[in-house]
């Protein structure tokens, strides 16, 4: 065999060996990216992936129907979950020239009853987190409907960050007084 033929064979072997390695690296990067996307969706948009972290829809619908007293099959979002009342919060708002207070009372809508006991266990952390969040707001942050909706989403995110057995589906303001 000539030197040129040996070089051609060696070149074909090296190309053949690099291709599977490159393919494995590319597949690894794709898998890691997909895992990152799923993780981000679980953290920042809980409930988007219904089969991860939640009970089956039949169990959720049953608990929601018991809470509503209705019989019928509705989607998880349309069925009222278990309600959990929090004590009112009174905080100073961050307005530099005016001393303002916010009194807020919240009702949490939970996706299952198990979350109630977990909230009871985590209540000191939840209260601390909510007090810090609420006292960091100014009147201009919360005076509009959009501001209240943004605050609602921040509250849901803060509380859900402490929960592992379920999640808060929604937050209802039952008192919202600024003075």
167 Cβ neighbours under 8 A, 6+ residues apart = 46, 47, 53, 54, 110, 111, 115, 160
pLDDT of residue 20: 83
pLDDT of residue 23: 86
Tens digits of residue pLDDT in 70-88: 443 345 567 888 999 999 9
Per-domain residue ranges of the chain: 81-178
pLDDT of residue 107: 95
Q: What is the pTM of this model?
A: 0.57
**Helix/strand/coil (H, E, C) string of 53-97?**
CCCCHHHHHHHHHHHHCCCCCCCCCCCCCEEEECCCEEEECCCCC
Say if residues 131 and 89 touch (Cβ distance below 8 Å): yes
Q: Does domain 81-178 have CATH number 3.30.70.20?
A: no
Neighbouring-strand partners of residue 172 = 107
Distance CA 63, CA 177 (A): 32
Average pLDDT (18-40) is 84
Residue 30 has pLDDT above 60, yes or no: yes
pLDDT of residue 38: 76
Distance CA 151, CA 154 (A): 5
Task: Please give the DSSP secondary-structure letter assigned to residue 38.
Answer: H
Residue 60's CB is within 10 A of a number of other CB atoms, namely 21
Confidence band for 9, pLDDT divided at 50, 70 and 90: low
Tens digits of residue pLDDT in 105-135: 999 999 989 999 999 999 999 999 999 999 9
């Amino acid at each position: 065999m000539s030197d040129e033929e040996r070089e051609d064979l060696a070149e074909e072997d090296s190309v053949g060996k690099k291709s599977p390695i490159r393919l494995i690296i590319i597949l690894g990067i794709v898998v890691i990216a997909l895992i990152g996307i799923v993780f981000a969706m679980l953290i920042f948009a809980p409930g988007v992936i219904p089969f991860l972290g939640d009970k089956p829809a039949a169990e959720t619908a049953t608990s929601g129907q018991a809470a509503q007293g209705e019989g019928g099959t509705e989607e998880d979002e349309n069925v009222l979950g278990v309600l959990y009342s929090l004590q009112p919060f009174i905080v100073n708002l961050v307005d530099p020239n005016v001393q303002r207070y916010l009194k807020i009372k919240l009702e949490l809508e939970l996706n299952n009853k198990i979350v109630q006991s977990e909230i009871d266990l985590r209540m000191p952390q939840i209260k601390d987190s909510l007090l810090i969040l609420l006292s960091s707001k100014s009147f201009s942050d919360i005076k509009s409907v959009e501001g209240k909706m943004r605050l609602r989403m921040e509250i849901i995110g803060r509380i859900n960050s402490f929960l592992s057995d379920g999640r808060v589906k929604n937050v209802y303001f039952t008192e919202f007084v600024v003075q």
